[in-house]
Amino acid sequence: MAAALFAGVVVYSVFGGADFGSGFFDATAGGARRGAQVRTLIDHSIGPVWEANHVWLIYVLVTWWTAFPGTFAAAMSTLWLPLMLALLGIVLRGASFAFRKYSATIGQARLFGIVFAGSSLITPFFLGCVAGAIASGRVPADGGGDLVSSWVNPTSLFGGLIAGGSCAYLAGSFLVADAARSGHPGLAEMLRVRTLGVGAVTGACVFAALVPIRQDAATLFDGLTGRALPLMVLSAFAGAGALVLIWTRRYAVARFAAAAAVGTVTLGWGVGQYPWLLVDQVTIEQAAGADATLQALLVAVGLAVVIVVPALSYLLYLTQSERWLRH
Amino acid sequence: MTLEALQVLLSDTPSGLLPARNQMALSLGWHIILACFGVAFPSMTFIVHWRGVFRGDAVALELAKRWSKVSAVLFAIGAVSGTVLSFEMGLLWPGLMGRYGDVLGLPFAFEGLAFFVEAIFLGIYLYGWGRMPPRIHLLMLVPMACAGVIGTFCVIAVNAWMNNPTGFRLNAAGEVVDVDPWAAMFNDGVWLMFAHMWVGAFVVVGFTVAGVYAAGMLRGHRDPHHRLGFIVPFVFATVAALAQPLVGHVLGLRVAESQPAKLAAFELAETTEQPAPLRLGGIMIDGEVRYSIDIPKIGSLIARNSFDKPVPGLDEVPEDERPPVNITHWAFQSMVGIGTLLALSVLLFWFVRWRGRDLLESRWFLRYAVAAGPLAMIALEAGWIATEVGRQPWVVWQVLRTEDAVTDNPWIWWSLAGTAVVYLGMTLGAYVVLRSMARRWRAGELDLPSPYGPESAEGVKEASR
């Protein structure tokens, strides 16, 4: 069950990350005239999928409280503030994205666009902080941890930055590919440079984070440099590989490499903190809810695999293929 | 007296209870309307889209296209307000989720699944206009409509469980043991509550959408577009409005057995009476009912399906287990009153039409039809308040008190204020955008391109000239 839960986290970080990250490019696209092309591209590329991507988060929450109810309550009460802020971002972003699409005037579109881009940036940051807080053992088993210092600390803040950066990097690699495929070479060139920049900074961030993590979150550090080391190395290769591929304009493959880099780094975090659910506090086994529920939940997960995966693959196939590029 | 009541309220309960409850009420009350659209709108869109494809009706096809764009906006804000709720379950009620998360979680998992399906097919449907073969494109609405049904069932299953908790046992130490999530999901209360909510969704959406076109007709737009736009949702609303009193009545019969305190509050019954009168209006002050209009025996008929069975009174409930009586009573009566009005009005419409007169020619009827949507929404909210407030002080009926479930977070008032601001903003945003969509459609713009830059904005203006 923990694996199913964590699979949700990984998928959300890849798919959800890709569309959250588009907020970075939306924000840096420039004024209304200059940025129009990028914004249209973003709308076109995440429009059909963002709601479906968003459901992964709901899946994670539901699975968490159903399978590991005690730790869910503990994390929610301790990390109340960053979760509230992430939630604020999710609400504003979803609403303003939909509103912008049907705005009647440029003024309205600009307002909703700013809200969309801004909230797309804060949400991954705060979710990253939450991950950092859990990984550094700052959520007590019975909840009631410090409302501020639990997430204002080196590991959490680096977690936030890495999450934000990964999202932007991932989004960039998808947008570059979309731009190139739909025949906008100039746009692709501009996005290519930005994506390379974001990718390099994020990569550096991941490795820089290891220094404070060593002090701040010893258990996680041991995990990352021990059991999770192969994954971290793989992630580094995939990330660097994606950068090279984008550099050499092989965008179609670069998308997969970038997704692999983000997926493996998230997976690395999970493997790094295994067997803890709340690091240094509660193991996965101790946290588990009733057996009957875990079995029932497996049925639900099985159904999800049978029903959702084909449907979602169809949707992704449609959006990532040539057929829907006709405007 | 008010001040005293306020003091009691503030001193006796954990500090977070009032704001947490209000925040949940606000976000759930807001979401419930959008959820109705997610449930009922795909079916209505299917009918007009089907007509467009198979009868070659261009007017119907255009309606389907517009409705799908409206769905996109409503679904988006419904999706985020739904996410808010799943966060709030933990952020506001850790005492409930920590203890009973594994008992009540399963239906949520299936609900997530249903929502997933709906989100995926909505994405395909929306972007499929002009890109997919028409018949396959039409089929994309079917999984959406089915997901709406399953999703409603699952969410209601959780609420029904909170009102009829089963599927677990408390051992001597007060721990939750012997969890059976399937029994919790398919508890005794779920089927009728689901039916009531599902039909209610069609009442709300049917009258609301029909009302939009009634407003258009009032302004003199009497074209086939407005006629069809009115009549399709109105037919849905008719069936639902006529079915609802029956479902509601059968559901109400259960309350006498399962939650007598709630029934007593519904009926404003201070003492057990046999037979009980139906009390219209009225208010309970210091344990006494005042200003009500009593109709003998009818209370027993409505609550117990018999002219002489007793309706339980609040005197049978310990004082600290009584729900807020007046709110519950008024909410319940508003729901029943509006529901009756809606049912009678659709009967009138079809009867008069059968006699050869079209009420759509009557400005008074059109005005009423515009008001029917908001009225149906009020009835929905009132019904939900009645069942939720009537359950207090329990969050899980006779197992967990609301005050034991609430968070002890000191910032909860701030989060309530923030929630109010954000939801107000979202409501305004949705209103502005939907209204401007309607205007642009009226001006003859069919595709509604988004103005991402000045060039396209110019293009928009030119197109509308």
Max mean pLDDT range (B87-101, B413-427, B450-464): B413-427
* Low pLDDT (below 50) residues in chain A: 327
Confidence of residue B11 (pLDDT cuts 50, 70, 90): very low
Rg of chain B in Å (alpha carbons): 24
- Place B14 in a pLDDT band, splitting at 50, 70 and 90: low
Q: Which of A90, A140, A5 is nearest to B94 (CA)?
A: A140
Burial tier of A242 (Cβ tally within 10 Å: 0-12, 13-18, 19+) = buried
Out of A191-200, A287-296, B237-246, B454-463, give the one with best mean pLDDT.
B237-246
pLDDT band at B1 (very low <50, low <70, confident <90, very high): very low
Tell me the nearest-neighbour CA distance from B37 into chain A, angstroms. Answer: 16
Amino acid type, B6: L
Select the residue of B80, B123, B452 nearest A52 (Cβ to Cβ). B123
pLDDT at B457 over 60: no
pLDDT band, residue B462 (cuts 50/70/90): very low
Dihedral pair phi/psi, residue B329, rounded to 5°: -60, -50
Chosen from A22, A33, A39, A55 to mutate, greatest number of chain B CBs within 10 A: A55
Report the pLDDT value the prediction gives residue B446, as an integer from 0 to 100. 67
Q: Specify the residue for token string 């929905």.
A: B380
Q: What size, in residues, is chain B?
A: 465
Calpha distance B211→A161 (Å, rounded): 49
Contact check, Cβ <8 Å, A293/B453: no
Cβ distance B115 to A58 less than 8 Å, yes or no, reads yes
pLDDT at A325: 53
A137 to chain B, closest Cα gap in Å: 19
Name the residue among A294, A279, A150 with its Cα closest to residue A224: A279
Integer Cα distance of B20 and A327 in angstroms: 46
Of chain B, the percentage scoring pLDDT greater than 70 comes to 91
B262-301: per-residue pLDDT in tens? Answer: 877 777 777 777 777 777 777 776 667 767 777 777 777 7
Instruction: Write down the pLDDT at residue B464.
Output: 37
* C-alpha–C-alpha distance, residues B122 and B133, integer Å: 16
* The one-letter amino acid at A143: G
User: What is the structure's pLDDT at B221?
Assistant: 83
| Higher-scoring residue by pLDDT: B150, B417 | B150
Q: Give backbone dihedrals phi and psi of A289, rounded to 5 degrees, phi first.
A: -80, -165
Say which residue, B10 or B333, is predicted with more confidence: B333
Helix axes B224-258, B17-54, angle to 10 degrees: 140
Nearest chain A residue to B435 by CA: give it.
A104
Which of the pair, A261 or B12, is modelled with greater confidence? Answer: A261
Nearest to A143 among B94, B117, B182 (CB): B94
A298 reaches B (C-beta below 8 A): no
The minimum CA-CA distance between A98 and chain B, rounded to whole Å, is 6
Identify the CA nearest to A268 among candidates A238, A225, A237, A224.
Answer: A224
Triad B127, A170, A304: Cα angle to 5°: 60
ipTM over 0.90: no
Residue pairs spanning A and B at CB distance below 8 A: 271
Asked if the model's pLDDT at residue B459 lies above 50, the reply is no
At B85 the pLDDT is 81
Helices (H), A217-290: 218-225, 229-247, 251-273, 284-287
Q: Which amino acid is at B413?
A: W
pLDDT digits (tens, 9 = 90+) for A134-178: 877 777 767 666 777 677 777 778 778 888 888 888 887 878 787
User: Is the CB of B179 less than 8 angstroms away from the CB of A290?
Assistant: yes
Q: Chain-centre distance of CA B94, in angstroms?
A: 25
For an interface test with B, the pick among A1, A99, A324 (most B C-beta atoms closer than 10 Å) comes out as A99
* Contacts (Cβ under 8 Å, ≥6 apart) of B71: B37, B41, B42, B45, B122, B126
Q: What angle do CA A188, A189, A191 make, to 5 degrees?
A: 65
- Distance from the Cα of B191 to chain A's closest Cα (Å) equals 20
Integer angstrom CA distances of residue B328 from A47, B260, B381, B391: 43, 13, 12, 9
Q: In Å, how far are A19, A231, B184, B258 from A236, measured between CA atoms?
A: 22, 9, 46, 60
